[in-house]
Chains A and B, each alone.
Chain A
Amino acid sequence: MRIFFWRSGLLGDPRMWVIAAIAVLVIAWNAYVEFNDDGVVRGKVIDAGGLPVAGANVVMYAAGTVGSQPLRRVRTKQDGSFEFIGHGQHHFRLQATDVTNRPGDSVDVRLYFRNQNLKIDLPLRLPEATEVQGSQDGFSR
Protein backbone atom coordinates (compact mmCIF):
# COMPACT_ATOMS: atom_id res chain seq x y z
CA MET A 1 0.00 0.00 0.00
CA ARG A 2 2.80 2.35 0.99
CA ILE A 3 4.64 1.57 -2.27
CA PHE A 4 1.48 2.34 -4.23
CA PHE A 5 1.12 5.74 -2.58
CA TRP A 6 4.83 6.47 -3.03
CA ARG A 7 4.91 5.44 -6.70
CA SER A 8 1.75 7.29 -7.51
CA GLY A 9 3.30 10.45 -6.05
CA LEU A 10 0.48 10.87 -3.51
CA LEU A 11 2.86 10.79 -0.53
CA GLY A 12 4.91 13.61 -1.97
CA ASP A 13 1.85 15.77 -2.57
CA PRO A 14 1.37 18.33 0.23
CA ARG A 15 -2.38 18.36 -0.47
CA MET A 16 -2.57 14.73 0.58
CA TRP A 17 -0.88 15.68 3.84
CA VAL A 18 -3.46 18.42 4.44
CA ILE A 19 -6.30 15.95 3.89
CA ALA A 20 -4.54 13.38 6.10
CA ALA A 21 -4.00 15.98 8.86
CA ILE A 22 -7.71 16.92 8.77
CA ALA A 23 -8.67 13.23 8.91
CA VAL A 24 -6.36 12.64 11.91
CA LEU A 25 -7.80 15.69 13.70
CA VAL A 26 -11.37 14.52 13.11
CA ILE A 27 -10.60 10.99 14.35
CA ALA A 28 -8.71 12.29 17.41
CA TRP A 29 -11.54 14.69 18.27
CA ASN A 30 -14.17 11.97 17.95
CA ALA A 31 -12.09 9.65 20.13
CA TYR A 32 -11.79 12.39 22.77
CA VAL A 33 -15.55 13.00 22.65
CA GLU A 34 -16.24 9.29 22.95
CA PHE A 35 -14.28 9.06 26.21
CA ASN A 36 -15.58 12.30 27.75
CA ASP A 37 -19.30 12.44 27.04
CA ASP A 38 -20.85 10.96 30.18
CA GLY A 39 -22.42 14.29 31.00
CA VAL A 40 -20.90 14.51 34.48
CA VAL A 41 -20.73 18.02 35.90
CA ARG A 42 -19.19 18.41 39.33
CA GLY A 43 -18.85 21.48 41.50
CA LYS A 44 -19.13 22.84 45.01
CA VAL A 45 -21.35 25.29 46.90
CA ILE A 46 -19.94 27.42 49.69
CA ASP A 47 -21.43 30.01 52.02
CA ALA A 48 -20.38 33.63 52.33
CA GLY A 49 -17.65 32.60 54.74
CA GLY A 50 -16.20 30.07 52.30
CA LEU A 51 -17.44 26.97 54.15
CA PRO A 52 -19.11 24.13 52.22
CA VAL A 53 -22.91 24.10 52.37
CA ALA A 54 -24.80 20.83 52.63
CA GLY A 55 -28.36 20.57 51.31
CA ALA A 56 -28.24 23.65 49.10
CA ASN A 57 -29.99 23.49 45.75
CA VAL A 58 -28.25 23.73 42.43
CA VAL A 59 -30.49 24.20 39.43
CA MET A 60 -29.45 23.64 35.84
CA TYR A 61 -31.13 25.93 33.30
CA ALA A 62 -31.06 25.46 29.54
CA ALA A 63 -29.41 28.36 27.81
CA GLY A 64 -29.58 29.42 24.22
CA THR A 65 -31.61 31.39 21.76
CA VAL A 66 -34.97 30.02 22.94
CA GLY A 67 -34.69 31.38 26.47
CA SER A 68 -33.85 29.78 29.76
CA GLN A 69 -35.85 27.01 31.42
CA PRO A 70 -35.01 24.82 34.44
CA LEU A 71 -33.84 21.35 33.43
CA ARG A 72 -32.64 19.60 36.57
CA ARG A 73 -31.93 20.26 40.21
CA VAL A 74 -29.75 18.51 42.73
CA ARG A 75 -28.86 19.04 46.39
CA THR A 76 -25.34 19.37 47.68
CA LYS A 77 -23.76 16.65 49.79
CA GLN A 78 -22.20 17.05 53.25
CA ASP A 79 -18.98 18.41 51.77
CA GLY A 80 -20.91 20.95 49.69
CA SER A 81 -20.27 19.13 46.42
CA PHE A 82 -22.90 18.47 43.78
CA GLU A 83 -23.03 16.33 40.67
CA PHE A 84 -25.18 16.19 37.55
CA ILE A 85 -24.99 13.07 35.43
CA GLY A 86 -26.09 12.82 31.80
CA HIS A 87 -27.05 16.47 31.41
CA GLY A 88 -27.24 16.27 27.61
CA GLN A 89 -26.47 19.97 27.06
CA HIS A 90 -23.70 22.01 25.47
CA HIS A 91 -24.71 25.34 26.97
CA PHE A 92 -26.41 25.81 30.35
CA ARG A 93 -26.51 27.91 33.47
CA LEU A 94 -26.08 26.69 37.02
CA GLN A 95 -27.73 28.57 39.84
CA ALA A 96 -27.17 27.87 43.51
CA THR A 97 -29.98 28.69 45.97
CA ASP A 98 -30.14 28.25 49.69
CA VAL A 99 -32.95 26.43 51.48
CA THR A 100 -35.13 29.52 51.47
CA ASN A 101 -34.67 29.84 47.70
CA ARG A 102 -32.49 32.91 47.98
CA PRO A 103 -30.32 32.90 44.90
CA GLY A 104 -26.56 32.72 45.17
CA ASP A 105 -23.96 32.65 42.45
CA SER A 106 -24.89 31.55 38.99
CA VAL A 107 -22.47 30.44 36.35
CA ASP A 108 -22.89 30.26 32.59
CA VAL A 109 -21.32 27.06 31.27
CA ARG A 110 -20.41 26.52 27.63
CA LEU A 111 -19.05 23.19 26.46
CA TYR A 112 -17.36 22.04 23.27
CA PHE A 113 -19.78 19.16 22.80
CA ARG A 114 -23.06 17.92 24.18
CA ASN A 115 -22.83 15.91 27.41
CA GLN A 116 -19.20 16.91 27.99
CA ASN A 117 -17.77 16.07 31.42
CA LEU A 118 -16.76 19.10 33.44
CA LYS A 119 -15.42 20.01 36.85
CA ILE A 120 -16.30 23.56 37.82
CA ASP A 121 -13.26 24.91 39.62
CA LEU A 122 -14.80 28.05 41.06
CA PRO A 123 -17.31 27.18 43.84
CA LEU A 124 -20.80 28.68 43.76
CA ARG A 125 -21.18 31.09 46.66
CA LEU A 126 -24.46 31.53 48.55
CA PRO A 127 -25.57 34.81 50.11
CA GLU A 128 -24.90 35.53 53.75
CA ALA A 129 -26.87 34.10 56.72
CA THR A 130 -27.63 30.80 55.12
CA GLU A 131 -29.20 28.23 57.37
CA VAL A 132 -29.60 24.70 56.25
CA GLN A 133 -32.74 23.21 57.79
CA GLY A 134 -33.56 20.21 55.72
CA SER A 135 -36.14 20.24 52.96
CA GLN A 136 -38.01 23.51 53.22
CA ASP A 137 -37.21 24.85 49.84
CA GLY A 138 -40.51 24.07 48.18
CA PHE A 139 -38.97 22.01 45.36
CA SER A 140 -40.75 18.77 44.59
CA ARG A 141 -38.44 15.77 44.44
Chain B
Amino acid sequence: MAGDAALSRRGIAKWLAHLALLPASALMLIPFYWLLKTSLTGENLFVYPPRVWPDDPNLFHFVDVWYAVPFIRYLWNSVLVSALAVVSNVVLNAMAGYALAQGFRGQRGIVLLLLSSMMIPFQVTVVPAYLITRELGLLNSHLGMALPLSSTIVCIFLFKASFSAIPRSLTEAARIDGMSEWRIIREIHLPLSKAAVATNVVLAFVWSWNSFLWPLLVARDQQMQTLPLGLAAFLSVVEDTSGALYAFCVMVLMPGLLVFLMAQRHFIAGLTAGATKG
Protein backbone atom coordinates (compact mmCIF):
# COMPACT_ATOMS: atom_id res chain seq x y z
CA MET B 1 0.00 0.00 0.00
CA ALA B 2 2.78 2.37 1.01
CA GLY B 3 4.70 1.28 -2.08
CA ASP B 4 1.74 2.19 -4.29
CA ALA B 5 1.51 5.64 -2.73
CA ALA B 6 5.22 6.20 -3.29
CA LEU B 7 4.88 5.11 -6.91
CA SER B 8 1.93 7.43 -7.39
CA ARG B 9 3.85 10.34 -5.81
CA ARG B 10 6.79 9.63 -8.11
CA GLY B 11 4.46 9.57 -11.11
CA ILE B 12 2.93 12.91 -10.16
CA ALA B 13 6.40 14.41 -9.65
CA LYS B 14 7.42 13.16 -13.08
CA TRP B 15 4.33 14.72 -14.66
CA LEU B 16 4.99 18.02 -12.91
CA ALA B 17 8.60 17.99 -14.09
CA HIS B 18 7.46 17.40 -17.65
CA LEU B 19 4.85 20.15 -17.30
CA ALA B 20 7.61 22.57 -16.33
CA LEU B 21 9.94 21.32 -19.06
CA LEU B 22 7.35 21.62 -21.82
CA PRO B 23 7.20 25.46 -21.97
CA ALA B 24 11.00 25.58 -21.55
CA SER B 25 11.39 23.28 -24.57
CA ALA B 26 8.86 25.33 -26.54
CA LEU B 27 10.84 28.48 -25.72
CA MET B 28 14.05 26.88 -27.01
CA LEU B 29 12.34 25.74 -30.19
CA ILE B 30 10.76 29.12 -31.07
CA PRO B 31 13.76 30.38 -33.14
CA PHE B 32 13.79 27.14 -35.13
CA TYR B 33 10.04 27.32 -35.63
CA TRP B 34 10.32 30.93 -36.81
CA LEU B 35 13.12 30.00 -39.20
CA LEU B 36 11.06 27.15 -40.66
CA LYS B 37 7.91 29.28 -40.86
CA THR B 38 9.73 32.11 -42.67
CA SER B 39 11.29 29.64 -45.11
CA LEU B 40 7.84 28.23 -45.90
CA THR B 41 5.95 31.51 -46.22
CA GLY B 42 8.56 34.05 -47.29
CA GLU B 43 7.05 36.70 -45.05
CA ASN B 44 9.39 39.34 -43.71
CA LEU B 45 10.97 38.31 -40.44
CA PHE B 46 10.24 41.70 -38.89
CA VAL B 47 6.61 41.98 -39.98
CA TYR B 48 4.35 43.46 -37.32
CA PRO B 49 2.17 42.12 -35.84
CA PRO B 50 3.97 38.77 -36.11
CA ARG B 51 1.88 35.83 -37.30
CA VAL B 52 2.23 32.65 -35.29
CA TRP B 53 0.83 30.26 -37.88
CA PRO B 54 2.24 30.07 -41.43
CA ASP B 55 0.03 31.70 -44.03
CA ASP B 56 -0.10 29.68 -47.29
CA PRO B 57 3.05 27.59 -46.67
CA ASN B 58 4.95 26.28 -49.71
CA LEU B 59 8.36 24.95 -50.70
CA PHE B 60 9.09 27.40 -53.52
CA HIS B 61 11.83 29.25 -51.64
CA PHE B 62 13.70 25.97 -51.33
CA VAL B 63 13.38 25.56 -55.11
CA ASP B 64 14.77 29.08 -55.61
CA VAL B 65 17.82 28.26 -53.49
CA TRP B 66 18.33 24.94 -55.25
CA TYR B 67 18.68 26.71 -58.60
CA ALA B 68 20.37 29.90 -57.36
CA VAL B 69 23.46 28.24 -55.89
CA PRO B 70 25.44 25.07 -56.67
CA PHE B 71 23.85 23.43 -53.65
CA ILE B 72 24.87 19.86 -54.46
CA ARG B 73 28.50 20.94 -54.82
CA TYR B 74 28.40 22.79 -51.45
CA LEU B 75 26.68 19.80 -49.87
CA TRP B 76 29.26 17.40 -51.27
CA ASN B 77 32.12 19.58 -49.97
CA SER B 78 30.51 19.80 -46.53
CA VAL B 79 29.79 16.07 -46.39
CA LEU B 80 33.31 15.16 -47.50
CA VAL B 81 35.01 17.54 -45.05
CA SER B 82 32.73 16.38 -42.22
CA ALA B 83 33.30 12.71 -43.06
CA LEU B 84 37.08 13.22 -43.04
CA ALA B 85 36.84 15.09 -39.73
CA VAL B 86 34.60 12.45 -38.15
CA VAL B 87 36.70 9.45 -39.24
CA SER B 88 40.00 11.02 -38.22
CA ASN B 89 38.45 12.21 -34.95
CA VAL B 90 37.28 8.76 -33.95
CA VAL B 91 40.55 7.09 -34.93
CA LEU B 92 42.99 9.64 -33.47
CA ASN B 93 40.98 10.43 -30.35
CA ALA B 94 40.45 6.74 -29.58
CA MET B 95 44.20 6.16 -29.88
CA ALA B 96 45.02 9.11 -27.65
CA GLY B 97 42.26 8.22 -25.19
CA TYR B 98 43.53 4.63 -25.00
CA ALA B 99 47.07 5.77 -24.26
CA LEU B 100 45.86 8.10 -21.52
CA ALA B 101 43.60 5.42 -20.05
CA GLN B 102 46.46 2.90 -19.89
CA GLY B 103 48.83 5.30 -18.19
CA PHE B 104 52.47 6.00 -19.05
CA ARG B 105 55.43 7.95 -17.76
CA GLY B 106 54.84 11.69 -18.16
CA GLN B 107 51.11 11.25 -18.59
CA ARG B 108 50.33 14.02 -16.13
CA GLY B 109 52.41 16.47 -18.15
CA ILE B 110 50.64 15.46 -21.37
CA VAL B 111 47.23 15.86 -19.74
CA LEU B 112 48.18 19.31 -18.45
CA LEU B 113 49.48 20.27 -21.89
CA LEU B 114 46.24 19.13 -23.52
CA LEU B 115 44.10 20.90 -20.94
CA SER B 116 46.06 24.13 -21.30
CA SER B 117 45.77 23.89 -25.09
CA MET B 118 42.01 23.93 -24.69
CA MET B 119 42.26 27.45 -23.27
CA ILE B 120 43.76 28.82 -26.50
CA PRO B 121 41.08 29.93 -28.98
CA PHE B 122 41.39 28.79 -32.58
CA GLN B 123 41.66 32.36 -33.82
CA VAL B 124 45.04 32.64 -32.08
CA THR B 125 46.50 29.62 -33.86
CA VAL B 126 44.87 30.24 -37.21
CA VAL B 127 47.96 31.86 -38.81
CA PRO B 128 50.40 29.03 -37.96
CA ALA B 129 47.70 26.50 -38.91
CA TYR B 130 47.35 28.23 -42.28
CA LEU B 131 51.12 28.28 -42.85
CA ILE B 132 51.42 24.58 -41.97
CA THR B 133 48.53 23.71 -44.30
CA ARG B 134 50.18 25.71 -47.08
CA GLU B 135 53.52 23.96 -46.52
CA LEU B 136 51.72 20.63 -46.76
CA GLY B 137 50.19 21.74 -50.06
CA LEU B 138 46.69 21.24 -48.74
CA LEU B 139 45.22 24.69 -49.39
CA ASN B 140 42.00 24.56 -51.40
CA SER B 141 41.53 20.86 -50.63
CA HIS B 142 39.03 18.89 -48.59
CA LEU B 143 41.75 17.36 -46.46
CA GLY B 144 43.13 20.83 -45.74
CA MET B 145 39.70 22.00 -44.58
CA ALA B 146 39.31 18.97 -42.29
CA LEU B 147 42.83 19.09 -40.87
CA PRO B 148 42.38 21.37 -37.80
CA LEU B 149 39.33 19.37 -36.74
CA SER B 150 40.93 15.96 -37.19
CA SER B 151 41.44 15.60 -33.46
CA THR B 152 39.75 17.47 -30.61
CA ILE B 153 40.96 17.50 -27.03
CA VAL B 154 37.46 17.36 -25.52
CA CYS B 155 36.79 14.10 -27.33
CA ILE B 156 40.19 12.66 -26.31
CA PHE B 157 39.10 13.05 -22.68
CA LEU B 158 35.71 11.62 -23.59
CA PHE B 159 37.41 8.45 -24.87
CA LYS B 160 39.78 8.41 -21.89
CA ALA B 161 36.79 8.47 -19.51
CA SER B 162 35.02 5.76 -21.42
CA PHE B 163 38.10 3.51 -21.77
CA SER B 164 38.97 3.95 -18.08
CA ALA B 165 35.60 2.44 -17.18
CA ILE B 166 36.52 -0.83 -18.93
CA PRO B 167 38.03 -3.31 -16.47
CA ARG B 168 41.80 -3.55 -16.83
CA SER B 169 41.52 -7.32 -16.47
CA LEU B 170 39.78 -7.43 -19.83
CA THR B 171 42.61 -5.59 -21.55
CA GLU B 172 45.22 -7.72 -19.82
CA ALA B 173 43.43 -10.93 -20.76
CA ALA B 174 43.43 -9.78 -24.38
CA ARG B 175 47.16 -9.06 -24.19
CA ILE B 176 47.83 -12.52 -22.70
CA ASP B 177 45.85 -13.99 -25.60
CA GLY B 178 48.28 -12.24 -27.93
CA MET B 179 46.13 -9.40 -29.25
CA SER B 180 47.98 -6.33 -30.45
CA GLU B 181 47.17 -2.92 -28.96
CA TRP B 182 45.47 -1.90 -32.22
CA ARG B 183 43.17 -4.91 -32.06
CA ILE B 184 42.43 -4.30 -28.38
CA ILE B 185 41.27 -0.77 -29.22
CA ARG B 186 39.32 -1.88 -32.28
CA GLU B 187 37.72 -5.07 -31.01
CA ILE B 188 37.35 -4.53 -27.27
CA HIS B 189 37.44 -0.86 -26.30
CA LEU B 190 35.55 0.71 -29.17
CA PRO B 191 32.62 -1.77 -29.15
CA LEU B 192 32.30 -1.23 -25.39
CA SER B 193 32.33 2.58 -25.81
CA LYS B 194 29.50 3.11 -28.28
CA ALA B 195 28.25 6.15 -26.38
CA ALA B 196 31.67 7.83 -26.56
CA VAL B 197 31.96 7.02 -30.26
CA ALA B 198 28.48 8.41 -30.96
CA THR B 199 29.23 11.57 -28.97
CA ASN B 200 32.48 12.04 -30.84
CA VAL B 201 30.75 11.46 -34.18
CA VAL B 202 28.01 14.00 -33.43
CA LEU B 203 30.37 16.64 -32.01
CA ALA B 204 32.93 16.28 -34.80
CA PHE B 205 30.19 16.35 -37.41
CA VAL B 206 28.50 19.45 -36.00
CA TRP B 207 31.80 21.30 -35.47
CA SER B 208 33.07 20.61 -38.96
CA TRP B 209 29.63 21.15 -40.53
CA ASN B 210 29.29 24.60 -38.95
CA SER B 211 32.94 25.57 -39.35
CA PHE B 212 33.21 28.91 -41.12
CA LEU B 213 36.50 30.72 -40.48
CA TRP B 214 38.87 27.92 -41.47
CA PRO B 215 37.12 26.90 -44.73
CA LEU B 216 36.90 30.61 -45.58
CA LEU B 217 40.69 30.83 -45.38
CA VAL B 218 41.48 27.53 -47.07
CA ALA B 219 38.90 27.38 -49.89
CA ARG B 220 40.15 29.44 -52.82
CA ASP B 221 37.38 29.01 -55.39
CA GLN B 222 33.61 28.64 -55.38
CA GLN B 223 33.76 24.94 -56.25
CA MET B 224 35.49 24.23 -52.94
CA GLN B 225 33.10 26.19 -50.73
CA THR B 226 31.17 24.44 -47.99
CA LEU B 227 27.54 25.16 -47.06
CA PRO B 228 28.24 27.88 -44.42
CA LEU B 229 30.45 29.72 -46.95
CA GLY B 230 27.75 29.35 -49.60
CA LEU B 231 25.20 30.71 -47.16
CA ALA B 232 27.36 33.76 -46.40
CA ALA B 233 27.89 34.39 -50.12
CA PHE B 234 24.16 33.95 -50.76
CA LEU B 235 23.34 36.46 -48.02
CA SER B 236 25.62 39.05 -49.62
CA VAL B 237 23.88 38.58 -52.99
CA VAL B 238 20.24 38.31 -51.91
CA GLU B 239 20.40 41.09 -49.30
CA ASP B 240 16.94 40.57 -47.86
CA THR B 241 15.63 38.90 -44.78
CA SER B 242 12.93 36.63 -46.07
CA GLY B 243 12.13 33.47 -47.98
CA ALA B 244 15.06 32.01 -49.86
CA LEU B 245 17.68 32.99 -47.29
CA TYR B 246 15.85 31.16 -44.52
CA ALA B 247 15.16 28.22 -46.78
CA PHE B 248 18.92 28.01 -47.32
CA CYS B 249 19.43 28.15 -43.54
CA VAL B 250 17.02 25.23 -43.09
CA MET B 251 18.80 23.26 -45.81
CA VAL B 252 22.15 23.84 -44.06
CA LEU B 253 20.73 22.88 -40.66
CA MET B 254 18.86 19.75 -41.69
CA PRO B 255 21.75 17.24 -42.09
CA GLY B 256 23.26 18.16 -38.72
CA LEU B 257 19.87 17.91 -37.06
CA LEU B 258 19.28 14.54 -38.66
CA VAL B 259 22.64 13.18 -37.48
CA PHE B 260 21.97 14.45 -33.96
CA LEU B 261 18.47 12.97 -33.80
CA MET B 262 19.70 9.62 -35.06
CA ALA B 263 22.47 9.41 -32.48
CA GLN B 264 20.93 11.41 -29.63
CA ARG B 265 20.48 8.48 -27.24
CA HIS B 266 24.15 7.50 -27.42
CA PHE B 267 25.17 11.16 -27.58
CA ILE B 268 23.48 12.03 -24.28
CA ALA B 269 24.74 8.81 -22.67
CA GLY B 270 28.27 9.65 -23.82
CA LEU B 271 28.17 13.19 -22.50
CA THR B 272 26.79 12.01 -19.16
CA ALA B 273 29.49 9.33 -18.88
CA GLY B 274 32.14 11.93 -19.68
CA ALA B 275 30.76 14.17 -16.97
CA THR B 276 30.84 11.59 -14.20
CA LYS B 277 33.85 9.41 -14.90
CA GLY B 278 37.59 9.84 -15.34
A positions within 8 Å CB-CB of B:
15, 18, 64-65, 90-91, 110-114
Contacts and interface: CB of A to CB of B under 8 A. Distances in A.
16 contacts: A15-B262, A15-B263, A18-B258, A64-B64, A64-B68, A65-B68, A65-B237, A65-B238, A65-B244, A90-B64, A90-B67, A91-B64, A110-B58, A112-B59, A112-B60, A112-B63
B63 A110 contact: yes
The 9 closest A-B pairs by CB, nearest first: A110-B60, A15-B262, A90-B63, A90-B67, A112-B63, A65-B238, A114-B67, A18-B262, A91-B64
Contacts of B58: 110
Nearest to A112: B63
B257 to A, nearest CB: 12
B238 A111 contact: no
Contacts of B68: 64-65
Contacts, number: 25
B132 to A, nearest CB: 37
Contacts of B59: 112
The SS class assigned to the B binding surface is helix
Contacts of A111: 63
Interface of B: 58-60, 63-64, 67-68, 237-238, 244, 258, 262-263
A91 B60 contact: yes
A112 B244 CA distance: 14
Contacts of A64: 64, 68
Nearest to B238: A65
Contacts of A112: 59-60, 63
A12 B207 CA distance: 30
A111 B263 CA distance: 35
A6 B92 CA distance: 31
Nearest to A111: B63
A113 B262 CA distance: 30
B241 to A, nearest CB: 14
Given A65-B237, A91-B60, A110-B60, 5 more contacts: A15-B262, A15-B263, A65-B244, A90-B63, A90-B64
Nearest to B259: A15
Contacts of B60: 91, 110, 112
Contacts of A90: 63-64, 67
B67 to A, nearest CB: 6
A18 B263 CA distance: 12
A8 to B, nearest CB: 13
B27 to A, nearest CB: 27
Contacts of A113: 63
Contacts of B63: 90-91, 110-113
Contacts of A15: 262-263
B133 to A, nearest CB: 33
A1 to B, nearest CB: 23
